[in-house]
Amino acid sequence: MSIEIIKVPDLGGADSVEVIEVCVAEGDQINAEDSLLVLETDKASMEVPSPYSGKVVSVKVKEGDELSEGAVILELEIVSNEEQAVEPEADVKPEPVNDVTPASADNNPAVATATVVEPISVPDIGGSDAVEVIEVCVAVGDSIAEGDSLVVLESDKASMEVPSPKDGKVISIHLKEGDSISEGALILELEVQSTNAVAPPVTPSPVSPPVANHSNTVAAVQSSSPITPQLPPVTSDDIYAGPAVRRLARELGADLNQVKGTGPRGRVSKDDLKTFVKQQLTSPSTGAASGSGIPVMPAIDFSQFGDINIEKMGKIHKLTSANMQRSWLNVPHVTQFDDADITDLESFRSSLKPEMERRGVKITPLAFLIKACAAALVEHPKFNASLQPDGEHIVYKKYVNIGFAVDTPAGLVVPVIRDADKKSVWELAAESLELATKAKNKKLKPADMQGGCFTISSLGNIGGQGFTPIVNAPEVAILGVSKLSMKPVWNGSDFEPRKMLPLSLSYDHRAINGADGGRFFTFLGEVLGDIRKLVL
């Protein structure tokens, strides 16, 4: 039994490479070729495999560390040097062993290494002849890992990738895009670390015969090499991506169907995949909803159609936009419409004008709407509720806080009037005016906008006959108010001109049913039609 110190191998010239994943932990029993680390440069990510089987004694690195060649990764307890020398896996992938400390190499004949240049040629391509090279995926000087795509070939039936059979450094490339090649043609020369002084020529594993006839389909590439990762079944014949990209997509949990390929013929590259994942993580609208399967809107260059001006969205705008989308995506909305007859309310409001002047408080229909909604929430507790995210519970609130949307130059904000059910119309008018003024002057504090149970969005002072407001989740309902207009209403014997206020009530159908919505609306219409009922 001996302890081997495993170090970072030759990174092909890369320095200070970030550890993005530590794949083993102390006490783990690992096999030769198991991944120890994943490192990432700005160009590529690479796995560092273990040169031995053994038990991890201690791990010396952590995620986020920056490592260079020779840095100690871990200490590995190996059963016996003798066993190591005959371990078959040492033959399978001897490359990294030259990076083990010299002491261990001395102790172990199997780890004596040499650098050899190996020609890599086109494998059996399923009987196809004179197949076109449509992409050369590597360049001279590249350090590549086993399984990385070397070239993409395309016959009239299908496309196929030729993976590298080994880790190594590309010394020279012997074909170019557009070349027509057949089995056995030299692709490139690879400098590899080998335990053998003389290495036999290497040919990548045979490529499986083309599997599909779609014009943009990649045939699954399979390898008989025991250390080539087994590829999963191709999930969609319409995705044009190679095995390495598919593997990365699986690891990231990304749906390749959604990734836009920028390679030749729409081929998806690793960079395309990374860009897609970055977009998903940074997009405020989809960050929380990632995995919802919503297709991403394509970025369009509108300047191709005429002059444009691009401005940065403000903080409130971005926040509102994210909240709206989250609510729209999560809440199954239903919107009901009705007109409330507020002829008498308006007469009463007009009669209050002298007192408004005396008190210095202007009462608009909004104050009465808040009062009426507060009463409706008390009467219909289903509207004064929030669903728990666990999908199993519902919270009924015993307080009645009502928010109202305020249109400000910086965007939409919703200050909240607390205990609206306990306040008079005068108090509600004064407080709504104060909060709206603060909102327009950017003086609202976060607490002024929290704790709402229900929201009123009034466009009455602006116009429109009706709209479908979006529920301000986690609230379960919102009232949209449009512009009052005089309408003929049948009183049983005549048409009477009445001041009708168009209302729209949107609610979360998970919490509220249509019948509940109807009852809430009827109550609201009755109290707005006869505000004396509000004092009962």
Residues lying near ligand CAO in the complex (CB under 6 A) are found at: 364-366, 404-407, 412, 436, 457-461, 469, 481, 483-484, 501
Cβ neighbours for 44, distance < 8 A, ≥ 6 positions apart: 270
* DSSP-derived 3-state class of residue 148: coil
Q: How many CB atoms lie within 10 A of CB 184?
A: 11
* CB-based closest residue to ligand CAO: 460
Angstrom distance (rounded) from CA 468 to CA 334: 9
Q: What are phi and psi of 10, to 5 degrees?
A: -55, 125
Name which of 120, 172, 144, 150 is nearest 10 in CA terms.
144
Angstrom distance (rounded) from CA 164 to CA 221: 11
β-pairing, 454-458 vs 477-481, is parallel
Least distance to ligand CAO from the beta carbon of 309, Å?
23
Least distance to ligand CAO from the beta carbon of 478, Å?
9
**Locate tokens 């009426």: which residue?**
372
In this structure, are residues 370 and 416 in contact, taking their beta carbons and an 8 Å threshold? Answer: no
Least distance to ligand CAO from the beta carbon of 366, Å?
3
- Nearer Cβ to ligand CAO (193/458): 458
- Nearer Cβ to ligand CAO (7/349): 349
Least distance to ligand CAO from the beta carbon of 302, Å?
24
Report CA Rg, the chain: 35
Cβ neighbours for 76, distance < 8 A, ≥ 6 positions apart: 3, 4, 5, 6, 30, 50, 52, 54, 55, 56, 57
Least distance to ligand CAO from the beta carbon of 446, Å?
19
In this structure, are residues 460 and 466 in contact, taking their beta carbons and an 8 Å threshold? Answer: no
Least distance to ligand CAO from the beta carbon of 456, Å?
8
Name which of 259, 265, 304 is nearest 277 in CA terms.
259
Q: Active-site residues: which are they? A: 509
Task: Give the count of alpha carbons within 13 A of 504, CB side only.
Answer: 20
Least distance to ligand CAO from the beta carbon of 342, Å?
9
- Nearer Cβ to ligand CAO (277/426): 426
In this structure, are residues 483 and 460 in contact, taking their beta carbons and an 8 Å threshold? Answer: yes
* DSSP-derived 3-state class of residue 411: strand
- Nearer Cβ to ligand CAO (335/364): 364
Buried b (16+ CB within 10 A) or exposed e, 449-473: beebbbbbbbbbeeeeebbebbbbb
Q: Please state the three-class secondary structure of 176-194 as a single string.
A: CCCCEECCCCEEEEEEEEE
- Nearer Cβ to ligand CAO (219/414): 414
Least distance to ligand CAO from the beta carbon of 419, Å?
19
Facing residues of 402 across strands? Answer: 417, 454
Angstrom distance (rounded) from CA 272 to CA 268: 6
Least distance to ligand CAO from the beta carbon of 458, Å?
4
Cβ neighbours for 53, distance < 8 A, ≥ 6 positions apart: 30, 31, 32, 78, 79, 84, 87, 89
**Locate tokens 């170090």: which residue?**
7
- Nearer Cβ to ligand CAO (8/414): 414
- Nearer Cβ to ligand CAO (400/406): 406
- Nearer Cβ to ligand CAO (68/424): 424
- Nearer Cβ to ligand CAO (199/433): 433
Name which of 146, 6, 139, 110 is nearest 67 in CA terms.
6
Tokens of 221: 């590439």
**Locate tokens 């999908």: which residue?**
391
Facing residues of 151 across strands? Answer: 136, 162
Least distance to ligand CAO from the beta carbon of 415, Å?
9
- Letter for the amino acid at 194? S
- Nearer Cβ to ligand CAO (362/509): 362
Angstrom distance (rounded) from CA 256 to CA 273: 8
Q: What angle do the packed helices 514-529 and 365-379 form, to 10 degrees? A: 130
